[in-house]
Structure 1
Amino acid sequence: MATFFNEFFGVSADDVDEYGAFNVSLINDLPLFIDPFLLFNSKNSDYEQLHEDILKYIIFLREEVAAGRVNDDLINAWFRFPEVKQNWLGFSMVGNSGSGLGSKFAVALRSNLQTVFANFGSEQVTKGSHLEKVCLVSEGVGRDNISDFTLNLILDFICRYTQEFAIQHIAPELRKKVWIQKAKFNYETKSWQRLQYELPFIDGDYVLLTPKDILTRDDNWINKGDMVHQFEEIPVAIPDNQLRGQVFAYFDSVLAKPLDRKPSAEEHAEAVIKTYLKFPQLVDWYIKYKEDNGDKARDISLEKVALTKFMFEQQVKDIQAQLGAETDFYKVTGSTYEETHQRLAFFKSVIEDKGGHRIFWHGTECIQRESDLQILCKFIWYGTPSDASAEVNDGRGPVDFKISRGAFDKTLIEMKLAKNTKLKQNLEKQLPIYLSASEAKKGIKVIIYFSASEEAKVNAILKEMGIEGHKDIVLIDARNDNKPSGSKA
């Protein structure tokens, strides 16, 4: 059952790994992102050139904006980009489709070119210029936007990188010459050119590989949350005493601290961002701090990418093999409700009795995010004869999975971590709403716990609600230490 790039294209995982690429899933996006700082801070000459190319394009945009030559048509041509979904990385919980870089990003970038990017390319404080500035003071511009924008600006390199691997390792019948519309920018014609590449091709689309050493798991090294958190320290580093005083005076006036309470975290963060906008040179001082600690970025990203590979590739492959070899997980029949209960029973048995709990652990650290849990379960569920759709929104918010066969046989599944602070509220309200919105007749809640205290918490909530032992509440014991010898099902 093919799940990952190497399996679909008949190459070994070692070949992909030794080439330096991340072995993506072709079932669902994985939560990894391109961090442009890793290009800037690299000693790889190709990466250094890519970063210079990014700066050249931003400077071009800034000059065109400053000259008043940017109209709506050029906004679409120069500032907006389609999502490059073929790299199979990002936030998508359903396949690999995302929204791309639309008008919100274009507006933020154009605005910042006249403020925080005003000295772009000629900074006095930092060692270089950084694309990430666009996400530091703009609402709704996050790591996925920065990653998507970076990918679009280095797309020619990514295509050539993938093409080289494909020609060396992938059979001709699994490759195809394809045209990429916005592959490289031509500064003479001031337009994006389309170029042709021979790429891995399957199920009607091409696939792109991305080098592991430009990827990160969480926030970019230069990111808004960190900049807000570091605000108290940044002005102190400024040698200009007068400017430093102005910064703190302005911040205090914007915060307008209420007399009866301490400002909320949101109010504090809003005041910080307004201060950065008032004194954009502060952004450069923050970036200088990140540059000075840049070597940590590489080490942290390598560790997080390795963890992602371990969790979403090796662990998934191991548990798929175990489920296939030791149970009838991939052979169950009946209605979707019966199928779901059978699969969950097999899954619970493997987790609790056969060492499968390791899928949720890396050393002494257990899975922390429900989004990661849902991706893992999406991979494991892959292979059902039913339509297993993740994060389906039928009008009242998304449900983790909808298992369906036609319009009248539907079963909904909610996957939750026991530590979720809103677990009781979710049990009381969320699933019944989903059942009504989807016109599904059955719904199952799966709750996974990692400690005795989490188990006690869940049981107390279920007992209080009068649903302890309900067949549609499936508890899975994924504890790592003192593992019970038998299933508690």
Structure 2
Amino acid sequence: MNPKAPKIYFSDIFNVSQETLSEYGAFNVSPIVDLPLFVDPFLLFTSSKPEYQSLHEQIIQYLRYLRDLSIKGNSDKGILKDLYCFKEVHQNCLGFCLSGNRGAGLGMKFASSLNLNLNNLFREFGNEQVTQGSHLEKLTLIRAGVGKDNISDFTTNLIKGYLLRYTEKFALEHIDPALCKKVRVARVDFNYEVGVWIDGEFTLPWLQGDYVLLTPEDILTKDDTWINKEDLRKDFPRIREAISNDSLRGQVDRYFQGILPRDHTQKDLNEAVEKVLLKFPALIDHFIRNKEDRGDEAVHRSFGHVRHTEEVFVKNLSLLASILQQHTEFYISSETTLEESKRKIDYLKQVIENQDGYRLFYDDKGKKIQREKDLQIAFKLVWEGSPSSADAEVNNGRGPVDFKISRGSLDATLVEFKLASNTQIEKNLQNQVEIYEAANRTTQSYKVILFFTQSDEAKVKRLIKKLKIPSDAGVILIDARRDNKPSASKASDSLL
């Protein structure tokens, strides 16, 4: 009798179909690990749905409230902590954390940066004249300390009440009551009359001592928000040229040229752009207005990101888990972690190279995984169900390692998953040599390197030869190319 593949997605765990989730509009999350999507507030702003537009206005109303407090001088440490600092809403199972679903949340660094911007650069926030509306992202475009994860965390906290009601409605209609629980949730809605967050009670899907939240697909994106720092820097020359006021454009140009070194680097250029924006913050509104005018592009881009994530991390991984369950004892092991890790890596290599498993890393349009973080998430999900724990980002003294496969303190093996296209791959392989040379046995760690092109394969093999890495040093190459695959794979062994 074959072991059962682990339940790794919301649909598996709560016995609902993917079709039911799709019809409801919710993304099929994994409580095992955060999937690489997050809420983009611009998608609320540009949506034609009244409930989304209302959510965006709710965010801006709260920011106006914070702005007014800041201008009045009501911004001591206690107020910042109470009104700006939030825990990550890890129950939505989305974001940037590879180790489970718990990130750092919003701390005092974020609070201080946001408060400073509201009280200094953007005292007119909420009353913009150039743009069609106000945007949270505007407050994060200049100063360091606020990134896309902060924007997503802040947005998710401010619309948490909506997400709770959205999930409760689905749970009451589609999930067995035995798999749900009535829970009291902190900081659900803000009471402006007394200036405090209030709690609420909801019946929600319940798993391992916590509730799970669903999020609508059409407010999610990947990589970066539509309004972001990188695009602002890239668009800076166009923004300068678009200034209709000749006097202002001249002031901006003279200031910019005056602070930019003659033989400047990209870093110098970025710093000069930031200084110009600090001195002339009105330029930011012109950038945002252009983004607003191209709102359809944001929706189209985000739709593609969600479809790619769904294809690779839900559909393909579910099929891979099914193959692993049907054809091997992948999810049963009485071995040491060293033996278990080697056996599982070898079998994954076999499936990927010879049983169409390479398709795991491509969506239906042929777009492949391009980030190592995505590769690591994929293997974290596949590894679920093992008797060994797979803890991510463990620092072994040489920097963080992707996974530590362990069974107690006396049995542990380090495993890293890398892309051959990584520009730091030589340094990474050198670290493997150091680990190998320090070991008293053949190997105590594995480095799995995935390649998508012949040139990347050749590059890695040259480096292995150059660094004189022996065959038993724990470096394993996996060919994930779409071409050069056996054409006679049996249908029963095919992943897709």
In the superposition, the TM-score normalised over structure 1's length comes to 0.95
Cα distance, 1:77–1:434 mapped onto 2, change above 3 Å? farther
String of CA shifts for 1:299-325, please: whole Å, max 9, x gaps: 110111111011100010011111111
Asked which structure has the greater RCO (Cα within 8 Å, sep 6+), the reply is: 2
1:418 matches 2:420: yes
Letter of the 2:463 counterpart: I
Equivalent of 2:40 in 31, 35, 39: 35
**CA distances 1:180-205 after superposition (whole Å, capped 9, x unpaired):** 21111001001111111111111000
Is residue 194 of structure 2 the alignment partner of residue 192 of structure 1?
A: no
Equivalent residue, structure 1, for 2:347: 346
**2:387 partner SS:** coil
Deviations 1:281-311 (A, max 9, x none): 0010110110111111011101111110111
Whether 1:124 and 2:129 are equivalent positions in the alignment is yes
Q: Distance in 2 between matches of 1:386 and 1:413?
A: 13
| Conservation of the 8 A alpha-carbon contact between 1:353 and 1:486 | no
Deviations 1:209-241 (A, max 9, x none): 111111101110000000011000002112111
Residue 140 of structure 1 deviates from its aligned partner by 2.6
Deviation of 1:366 after TM superposition, in Å, equals: 2.2
Q: Figure out how many residues of one structure are paired with residues of the other and give that number.
A: 482
Q: 1:477 to 1:427 in 2, by over 3 A?
A: same
CA separation in 2, counterparts of 1:435 and 1:226?
45
Q: Which residue of 2 aligns with 1:273?
A: 274
| Aligned match of 1:399 | 401
Aligned-residue offset at 1:468 = 5.3
2:149 and 2:454 mapped to 1: Cα distance? 36
Contact kept? 1:116, 1:283, Cα under 8 Å:
no
The corresponding residue for 2:292 is 291
* 1:361-405 deviation digits (Å, cap 9, x = unpaired): 223332211110000011111111112112112444210111112
Runs of 5+ unmatched residues, structure 2: 1-5, 490-496
Change (3 A) 1:406 1:440: farther
Contact residue 443 and residue 474 of structure 2 kept, 8 A: no
Q: Confirm or deny: 8 A CA contact 2:436 2:444 kept in the other structure.
A: no
Contact 1:156 1:184 in 2 (8 A): yes
Report the counterpart of residue 231 of structure 2 in structure 1. 226
Specify the SS of the correspondent of 1:75: helix
Change (3 A) 1:178 1:330: same
Q: Report the equivalent of 2:386.
A: 384
Specify the alignment match of 2:64 in structure 1: 59
* Residue number in structure 1 paired with 2:151: 146
Residue pairs, 1:261-340, within 5 angstroms: 261=263, 263-340=264-341
Note if contact 1:409-1:440 (Cα within 8 Å) is conserved in structure 2. Answer: no
Change (3 A) 1:394 1:472: closer
Sequence identity of aligned pairs in percent? 48
CA contact (8 A) 1:435 1:442 kept: no
Q: Distance in 1 between matches of 2:274 and 2:126?
A: 23
| Partner SS state of residue 331, structure 2 | helix
Q: Could you state the TM-score of these two structures normalised by the residue count of structure 2? A: 0.94
* Contact 1:30–1:89 (8 Å) recurs in 2: yes
Question: Aligned in 2, Cα 1:414/1:145: closer, same or farther, shift over 3 Å?
Answer: same
Task: Give yes or no for contact 1:411–1:440 (8 Å, CA) kept in 2.
Answer: no
Give matches, 1:73-92, under 5 Å.
73-92=78-97
Secondary structure of 1:329's counterpart equals coil
CA distance in 2, matches of 1:88, 1:165: 17
Sort the Cα spacing of 1:436 and 1:270 in 2 relative to 1 into closer, same or farther, 3 A. Answer: farther
Superposition deviation, residue 83 in structure 1 = 1.1
Paired AA for residue 236 in structure 1: E
Deviation at 1:331, TM superposition (A): 2.3
Task: Pick which of 460-469 and 225-234 moved more.
Answer: 460-469
Q: CA deviation at 1:114?
A: 2.0
CA distance in 2, matches of 1:396, 1:275: 40
Q: Does 1:93 align with 2:98?
A: yes
Deviation of 1:424 (Å):
1.4
The match for 1:242 is 247
Q: Which amino acid letter does the alignment assign opposite residue 114 of structure 1?
A: N
Match of 2:7 in 1: 2
RMSD, aligned α-carbons: 1.9
The partner residue of 1:428 within 420, 427, 430 is: 430
Secondary structure class of the residue paired with 2:156: helix
The 5 Å alignment of 1:467-482 reads: 467=469, 469-470=471-472, 472-482=474-484
Deviation at 1:79, TM superposition (A): 1.1
Q: Give a deviation string over 1:148-172, Cα, whole Å, max 9, x none.
A: 1001111111111111001001111
Q: Give me the whole-angstrom Cα distance separating, in 1, the residues matched to 2:412 and 2:77.
A: 45
SS at match of 1:132: helix
